[in-house]
Structure 1
Amino acid sequence: MHIVFVSREYHDSKRGGGIATYLHDLITLVLEEGHQVTLITASDDTRQYTVAVNGKFTKVNLEGGDFIIPEVEPGMIQMKKFRIFFRFFSYRMKVLREVLKLKNVDVLEVAEFGAESVFFRKFDFPVVYRLHTSSLLDRSNGGVFKFRLGMIPNFFTGYFEKRMLRFADYITSCSNSLKDWTSTYFNIPQNQIEVLYNPINLKNWKFTRSEESLAALKILYVGTVSYEKGVGELVEACKLLKGKGVDLTLTIAGKLGTFGKNLQQDLKDDTWCSFIGHITKQELVHVYETHSVAVFPSHWEAMGLVTLEAMYSGALVIGSSEGGMSELIEDGKNGFLATPKDAEGLAERIEHVLGLSHEEKITISTNAIQHVIENFSDKKIVPQFLEYYKKVIADYKVKSAKK
């Protein structure tokens, strides 16, 4: 098959997040199966258009993106932040023109986030819309944002995300939680959305965790450092435990926004908490395997690939009970769930995990590793994607023949 992916971000982008990781892993694995892949994404430097071909993989970096990365394009930063409005349609027209250049496409997958399919109409191949997380989803309550001036960009983009899904024939979701949210708030029939979990490429992770590492009082958070990710509650929970005499440390790895920078400043004199910023996968392997407990207390999360990474490392994982993490963790068997926005409850959960016997920790750790291998590995998930694409292609051909 020739599979085309359209997404605003990819793993080598400075804007890369969960979508970028998902795409990189899936594309790598699909190429290994012998398929042809074209990726249309945005260049970090919005002045540059580049095309790179490597075997059966073609990567197109489009110019004219509707965002600004200050360290890449310095000058007039405040003005350039309005690109979401004055470049919104021009960039999406570039996406359409790039798609129309392609030959012998079998299926195209486009992320719903960012509404890059605004100008898409009927092609001679099917289009699959991949749900990641809408711009309208309020992680603080699992609902839709209430309107306020600061949220205008979200409502602007979210309007088109919702509109595009209304015309979609084929939709996939990275979790049942996101499927349910989209069905409820965007009025999409449940049976129109196929759940295909993001795969984890096990070849990217080679862990050599020692059993002794599970006895360490070392807590880890990996991901964007933001309010919605529950990092504030995690810090408060650790402070509560420190006050009780628990001699723990907290390592926070990930991109720092305004919230993260303020939090780092507040904790600058606390040697027990360290911010190590955005690090490579190779560096992250060592961080995972030397920390005993990984905590991801998001207020709401569509899925959370870092949860699977931490589980596969053998860490004792505490995830949020709201959203897709609850689909990855079986509480008390291969990890633990905690109620979000509850620092005291989270502190009790961390204390409980730290207090488990060595044998109990080994059992949880072993179960977590096996759970990831059996249910979320590339060998398990990628065939599901390929089978779904084939089904969509066949269905599209039948429907087209009837017209």
Structure 2
Amino acid sequence: MRVLLVSNMYPSAAKPYSGIFVKNQYEFLSRHYKHGYTWHMFAMKRMFTSRFGSLLKYVKSGLNFFGKHLLKKYDVIHLHYFFPLIVVVVVYTFFHPKTKLIVTFHGADVTNAAGNRLFKWVFSRLANNIDYTIAVGSDLKELIEKSLQCQVNRVLCAGINEKVFYPPDHVNKEYDFVFVGSFIYRKGIDIVMDSIKKLNDRSIHFCFVGSGPYMNELKDLQQNHKITILENQSQDELRSIYASSKFLLFPSRDEPFGLVATESIYCGTPIIVSSAGGLKEQVNIGKTGFIANTSEEIINIIRESLKMSEKDYHIMAANCKESNKQYSLSYVCKELKNTYDRLGNT
């Protein structure tokens, strides 16, 4: 069986961890399922461009796809991120009608169009060509079915690499709370910063991993609080940071799944997350973490968590190490392989 994975997000020199989960899936499938399969990857590598530059990038990528793959036959094409590469993939299936098309929706590829009538109409027509639809979270599934009138066949996250994210044998809890993600409004970093201001407790050590528009404001806050800022961390470095933190703090406003939550849990670090999207599906309240949406709720949980006895904290950390196995890369890839088998043999 010939399977082609397609994605408009993939690691590049400019963005080394963009779409890392797609790369992880491709490498895992290629390594563990060799007999009877040939695996192929087409990805548009990410780079910083203007709006016009992005348009040219997509056009060039489409032409590149046709040049490399239009004359080749695949049993299954699995597209990550619906738009815009759905256009070139649909054109491919016009010439190869026996090819089965699977699409995994990751969120922004459909949420940005949910309120635009023209986009919804175009997207729904394109979605009619999909043979099997996957959403990374339950809330996203509902949005897709409502906005695109497209049935979602499966909710399945992108998968966390358990060979990268795991609890170390010995660790020093250097940070009390860690935020991991882009420093943008959607990720809720402003909520965390507001909580720090209101707490006004310089003994609490916060760590922020990422970059973005809130960087300067965060650096101003750093002047009067115990804050560490880390940029461009590798996956191995992230594991160490999670394990060195008592809690992950991630009150995102919109998160179709939110891989960072289970990455933290796999490292044995409990989570404090919002109820947005897939985040609420990853936390077992009181067992592996807590839910907080506002700065007031975060402040209350921070105060209570810092009062937690060492015994109770170790119990919660132990719970994390045994949780969320259904989100592992190995489980996700096994389920994908089974889906390819069913579709490719029909």
Please tell me the TM-score bracket, short chain as reference.
Answer: 0.7 to 0.9
Deviation at 1:93, TM superposition (A): 3.7
> 2:132 maps to what in 1?
170
Letter in 2 for 1:391: R
Q: Is the 8 A contact 1:115 1:164 kept in 2?
A: no
Higher relative contact order (CA 8 A, sep 6+): 2
Corresponding residue SS for 1:322: coil
- Written as runs of structure 1 = structure 2, the 5 A alignment for 1:21-170 is 21-33=20-32, 34=34, 35-43=37-45, 69=48, 80-85=50-55, 88-89=58-59, 91-103=61-73, 105-119=74-88, 120-121=90-91, 122=93, 123=96, 124-137=98-111, 144=114, 161-170=123-132
Give the Cα–Cα distance (whole angstroms) in 2 for the partners of residues 14 and 333 of structure 1: 39
Structure 1 position 208 matched with structure 2 position 171: no
Give the Cα–Cα distance (whole angstroms) in 2 for the partners of residues 197 and 136 of structure 1: 16
Corresponding residue SS for 1:228: helix
Deviation at 1:204, TM superposition (A): 1.8
> 2:186 maps to what in 1?
228
Q: Is the 8 A contact 1:2 1:36 kept in 2?
A: yes
Deviation at 1:229, TM superposition (A): 0.2
Q: What TM-score, normalized by structure 2, do the two folds share?
A: 0.87
Q: Is the 8 A contact 1:237 1:346 kept in 2?
A: yes
Corresponding residue SS for 1:5: strand
Q: Is the 8 A contact 2:202 2:226 kept in 1?
A: no
Give the Cα–Cα distance (whole angstroms) in 2 for the partners of residues 302 and 165 of structure 1: 19
Q: Is the 8 A contact 1:236 1:343 kept in 2?
A: yes
Superposition CA RMSD, Å:
2.7
> 2:329 maps to what in 1?
378
Residue deviations 1:240-278 (CA, integer Å, cap 9, x gap): 22x2x4621111112x23x23333343352351222112
Q: Is the 8 A contact 1:92 1:117 kept in 2?
A: no
Give the Cα–Cα distance (whole angstroms) in 1 for the partners of residues 307 and 25 of structure 2: 38
Corresponding residue SS for 2:321: helix
Deviation at 1:85, TM superposition (A): 4.0
Letter in 2 for 1:31: S
Give the Cα–Cα distance (whole angstroms) in 1 for the partners of residues 262 and 209 of structure 2: 16
Residue deviations 1:46-80 (CA, integer Å, cap 9, x gap): xxxxxxxxxxxxxxxxxxxxxx526xxxxxxxxx4
> 1:364 maps to what in 2?
316
> 1:218 maps to what in 2?
176
Question: CA, structure 1 residues 217+38, in 2 after alignment: closer, same or farther (shift >3 Å)?
Answer: closer
Task: Give aligned pairs, total.
Answer: 338
Q: Which runs of 5+ in 2 are unaligned?
A: none
Structure 1 position 7 matched with structure 2 position 40: no
Deviation at 1:87, TM superposition (A): 5.3
Q: Is the 8 A contact 1:217 1:247 kept in 2?
A: no
Give the Cα–Cα distance (whole angstroms) in 1 for the partners of residues 178 and 205 of structure 2: 8
Question: CA, structure 1 residues 220+332, in 2 after alignment: closer, same or farther (shift >3 Å)?
Answer: same
Residue deviations 1:330-371 (CA, integer Å, cap 9, x gap): 1111222222xx111121122222222212211111111111
Question: CA, structure 1 residues 167+260, in 2 after alignment: closer, same or farther (shift >3 Å)?
Answer: same
Deviation at 1:4, TM superposition (A): 0.9
> 1:248 maps to what in 2?
204
Q: More displaced, 374-383 or 312-321?
A: 374-383
Residue deviations 1:22-55 (CA, integer Å, cap 9, x gap): 21221121122224321111245xxxxxxxxxxx
Question: CA, structure 1 residues 90+31, in 2 after alignment: closer, same or farther (shift >3 Å)?
Answer: closer
Give the Cα–Cα distance (whole angstroms) in 2 for the partners of residues 223 and 14 of structure 1: 17
> 1:63 maps to what in 2?
none
Question: CA, structure 1 residues 236+145, in 2 after alignment: closer, same or farther (shift >3 Å)?
Answer: farther
Q: Is the 8 A contact 2:82 2:103 kept in 1?
A: no
Corresponding residue SS for 2:185: coil
Residue deviations 1:188-239 (CA, integer Å, cap 9, x gap): 23xx4311222222112353254763xx662101111111000110111122
Q: Percent identity?
A: 20
Deviation at 1:5, TM superposition (A): 1.0
Question: CA, structure 1 residues 159+226, in 2 after alignment: closer, same or farther (shift >3 Å)?
Answer: farther
Q: Which runs of 5+ in 1 are unaligned?
A: 45-67, 71-79, 148-154, 398-403
Deviation at 1:81, TM superposition (A): 3.0
Give the Cα–Cα distance (whole angstroms) in 2 for the partners of residues 42 and 274 of structure 1: 33
1:297 to 228, 244, 251: 251
> 1:73 maps to what in 2?
none
